[in-house]
Structure 1
Amino acid sequence: MDSYEVIADVSRSLVELLRKNLTPEPVAKEELIGLCPPYEAGNYILGLHMYNIEEKKNMGTQRMLNISPGVQKDPPIPLMLYYMLTVYSKTELANRAIDEQRILGRAMQVFHDFSKLKGNPHIEISAIQMSMDDKAKIWSIFNQPYQLSLYYSVGPVYLESDIIRDTKPVVDFKVDIQSK
């Protein structure tokens, strides 16, 4: 697998985590949970959408990595991924709000209980506290009315570099000391 797929891999892992832990209750089938933008939920009951990616230079090393003697690789790019989780309930209007709250409550519980991605213990899932204005701004970007959603940051995720450099090892070292 290519290293550039790390972002997609994290998204797939989050969907798998939700599918495994939210079915058959409160969501009947796994295929009703998936990745989708808020304006295109399709048949999903629970949609996960990545709305932002940020490079975090202060989280990683800026030095070349030694791969083998005489071979170095550029350092990876540390990233934080930002997601929103939204319920698109299809139940009758009288029960829709309760259904949405049950699904969101279980999703919150799952992301809390599994706050480190399996197989990637350094990748943390953290709830984001934001104002109603900020939430409404995110929805307005998609020309959609505000809908109750959960917001999470996931990371750090490291995007590997493909740049590999041959270096010459130090073979001679000369020190010239003069006395006064």
Structure 2
Amino acid sequence: MSDYTKIADTGNGILSLLKEALIPEFLNSPDQIGLCPPEDHGDFAVGVWLYDIREDNTIQAHEMTNIGRNTQRYPSVYLRLYYMITLYLQSDLKYRAVQEHQMFGRIIQTLRDHAALDPDSFLPAEGSGGANIRIQMQDLEMEEKVRLWTVPNAAYRTSLFYNAGPVEIQSVRKKSVKRVTEINYRFAGKET
């Protein structure tokens, strides 16, 4: 698997968690949950939108990584991914609000209970330490939420905001290195 797919793999890992949590109790089909921007959600009942990608400044990778005996890889880049989760239910109006509240509760519960993804399999990981991708709810002000809602002529929908990281993307640049194989000591000094 190529490292450049890790952004998509992280989104798909979050989708898998949501599908497991919401089907069949709230939704009938996994096809009702998908990655999409709010203005183009199609038939999705739950949309997960990657609205921002930033370098994770808490991790500074400056060192080369040894690959084999004579090759080193340049440092990886570590990213933090920002997601907005929105519900687009088409159910009867008198039941929709209650169903949305229940679904939001289930999503929050699921992402708290499975707050880390394994960076290789993108399945839930035990613990949030090490190299795991941590999923955390964001605390945004209402103005910021409304600003992120980019649908013209549509009222803001209550949404959940999460970030996931660090997501490591390894460099493909490599450098050949010569290892020390022989040392020759020569001493120069006065003869007595």
Relative to the length of structure 2, the TM-score reads: 0.85
Over residues 20-53 of structure 1, what are the superposed CA-to-partner deviations in whole Å (9 max), with x where a residue is unaligned? 1210012222111111110111111111110000
Corresponding residue for residue 146 of structure 2: 136
Structure of higher CA gyration radius: 2
Give SS of 1:50's match.
Answer: strand
Q: Does 1:49 align with 2:59?
A: no
Corresponding residue for residue 27 of structure 1: 27
Corresponding residue for residue 159 of structure 1: 169
Whichever residue aligns with residue 158 of structure 2, its letter is: L
Conserved 8 A contact 1:57-1:77: no
Conserved 8 A contact 1:77-1:159: yes
In structure 2, the CA distance between the partners of 1:26 and 1:176, relative to structure 1 (3 Å rule), is farther
Corresponding residue for residue 16 of structure 2: 16
Relative to the length of structure 1, the TM-score reads: 0.90
Matches of 2:76 and 2:170, distance apart in 1:
4
* 1:159 Cα deviation from its structure 2 partner: 0.6
Q: Which moved more, 1:167-176 or 1:14-23?
A: 167-176
* 1:174 Cα deviation from its structure 2 partner: 7.2
Over residues 42-94 of structure 1, what are the superposed CA-to-partner deviations in whole Å (9 max), with x where a residue is unaligned? 11111111000001243142111111222100111000000010000101222
Corresponding residue for residue 179 of structure 2: 169
* 1:178 Cα deviation from its structure 2 partner: 9.5
Whichever residue aligns with residue 140 of structure 2, its letter is: M
Q: Report the count of equivalent residues.
A: 178
In structure 2, the CA distance between the partners of 1:178 and 1:54, relative to structure 1 (3 Å rule), is farther
Conserved 8 A contact 1:81-1:154: yes
Matches of 2:106 and 2:180, distance apart in 1:
58
Note the residue ranges of structure 1 that are not aligned, 5 or more in a row. none
Q: Does 1:147 align with 2:162?
A: no
Whichever residue aligns with residue 152 of structure 1, its letter is: Y
